[in-house]
């Protein structure tokens, strides 16, 4: 069975995370306590995803996910869950998200997306953060027929659930989707658990990946060679 679609992680895959961190540094300094606490909370939510919600706390949809996230954040920032929810909405999902209008994709990313589409492959995105508006701000939205956030189904990567939900929405078997990411812990583990071939953007070894690349032309050649 060949592939019919290529799905991309966004953060650190379609653009340079270190460059974005420089852009976001002033905001991070203004809200240092929040960003530190948010990092701890997302670590806890990723742990929950790795365990597949086995402790019974796994939220089932976006609303439940956001409530749990706010409840975990609240004691860390000395706020009520309602105050924490509003703080996340304003700073993380608002001010931080807006900064993506100041970030450009990797130089090879957009030509690669165009080449994959013209080669007959469908394109999708799956991120642990809201994806459609981010792709618009990166200037890439027009290449993707589907952009999903793992939060929508209640579990972050590396749980297989968001990968399988994306495949179902595309109407494809997981094996028909090449997933492209930059994280071994989240992208590689999650996509493999869902049954997808995986390409990892890295200059290092990535055991278990079907392809490692830093040259976008290499990704294009690999993906087109796998077409069904």
Rg of the chain, C-alpha, whole Å? 17
pLDDT-derived band at 25, boundaries 50, 70, 90: very high
User: Taking the domains of the chain in order of start, what are their residue ranges?
Assistant: 5-15+104-225, 18-100
- Tell me how long the chain is: 228
* Phi, psi (rounded to 5 degrees) for 201: -80, 105
Fold type of domain 5-15+104-225: Rossmann fold (3.40.50)
* Phi, psi (rounded to 5 degrees) for 44: -65, -40
Residue 1 predicted with pLDDT over 90 = no
Burial class (CB within 10 angstroms; exposed 0-12, middle 13-18, buried 19+) of 61: exposed
Task: Copy the structure tokens of residue 132.
Answer: 């459609």
pLDDT-derived band at 228, boundaries 50, 70, 90: confident
Query: Is the overall model pTM greater than 0.85, yes or no?
Result: yes
Which residues of the chain form beta strands (DSSP E)? 5-8, 122-127, 146-149, 177-181, 198-201, 211-213
Residue 53 predicted with pLDDT over 60 = no
Q: 10 Å Cβ neighbour count for 105?
A: 18
pLDDT tens figures, 124-162:
999 999 999 999 999 999 999 999 999 999 999 999 999
With a CB cutoff of 8 Å and minimum separation 6, the contacts of 98 are: 137
Residue 183 predicted with pLDDT over 60 = yes
DSSP character at residue 128: S
């Amino acid at each position: 069975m060949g592939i019919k679609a290529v799905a991309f992680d966004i953060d650190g895959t379609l653009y340079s995370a270190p460059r974005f961190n420089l852009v976001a540094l002033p905001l991070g300094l203004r809200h240092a306590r929040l960003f530190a606490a948010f990092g701890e909370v997302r670590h806890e939510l990723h742990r929950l995803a790795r365990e597949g919600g086995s402790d019974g706390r796994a939220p089932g949809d976006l609303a439940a996910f956001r409530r749990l996230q706010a409840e975990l954040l609240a004691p860390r920032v000395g706020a009520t869950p309602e105050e924490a929810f509003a703080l996340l909405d304003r700073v993380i999902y608002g001010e931080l998200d807006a900064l993506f209008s100041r970030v450009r994709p990797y130089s090879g990313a957009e030509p690669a997306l165009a080449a994959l589409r013209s080669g007959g492959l469908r394109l999708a995105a799956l991120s642990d953060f809201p994806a459609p508006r981010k792709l618009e701000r990166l200037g890439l939205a027009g290449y993707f027929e589907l952009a999903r956030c793992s939060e929508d189904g209640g579990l972050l990567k590396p749980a297989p659930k968001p990968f399988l939900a994306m495949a179902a929405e595309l109407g494809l078997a997981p094996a028909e989707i090449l997933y492209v990411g930059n994280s071994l812990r989240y992208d590689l583990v999650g996509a493999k658990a869902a049954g997808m071939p995986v390409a990892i953007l890295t200059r290092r070894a990535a055991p278990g990946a079907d392809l490692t690349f830093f040259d976008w032309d290499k990704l294009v050649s690999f993906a087109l060679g796998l077409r069904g």
